[in-house]
Amino acid sequence: MGALQKICFATNNSNKLKEVKTLLEGKFEVVGLKDIGCDEDVPETQETIEGNSKQKSEYIWDNYKVKCFADDTGLEVPSINNEPGVYSARYAGPQRDSKANIKLLLQKLEGKEDRSARFKTVISLILDGKIHQFEGIVNGEIIAEETGTDGFGYDPVFVPEGFDKTFAQMTMEAKNKISHRGRAVRKLVDFLI
């Protein structure tokens, strides 16, 4: 069997990179931004998850000319106007502190009966200069306190629909089977192979 096709996942988030490498294992050699020599901050200035995802992949394509895909993910909570949404990573400020983001989210949800939420990932792939987008959504709810030690971001307070565990209580393999990113990546894989 020949060498795997190399594709860049436009992220500096080692957790995301590990998750996607697991999903694409044996199909593609997934490399991160550091592997292609990109150490600058990739712009994320759009007002939507779709827009940020597209902007990031276009930036890598325009500047590095490598096959690439980028994702943007947001947690949307209807009872607080779909916050944090596109600002999920920097909800509590530009320092991107997951603990502070969760604390702010839980404060805003105090006294709210409706704690439903959904994670949404949009992946933008650039192949031969053309953009293709893939969306993955998982519905669930926000619990009142952090539970579990695996995962990252809002995983310790998000319980996916049909489960009684948070994403942070699941193994990466179990989470990848049902997660928003896993769903979007499977659509990407189906498209690529």
Residues catalogued as catalytic: 72
* Phi, psi (deg, nearest 5) at residue 159: -110, 115
- For residues 140 and 93, give the distance between their C-alpha atoms in angstroms, rounded to a whole number: 25
Q: Which amino acid is at 69?
A: F
Give the CA distances from residue 54 to residues 43, 50, 124, 186, in Å, rounded to whole numbers and listed in that order.
Answer: 10, 6, 5, 18
Q: Which residues on neighbouring strands pair with residue 124, listed in sequence order? A: 70, 133
Instruction: Supply angle C-alpha 10, 15, 21, rounded to 5.
Output: 65
Strands 158-160 and 116-127: unpaired
Least Cα distance to 109 among 149, 82, 72 occurs for 82
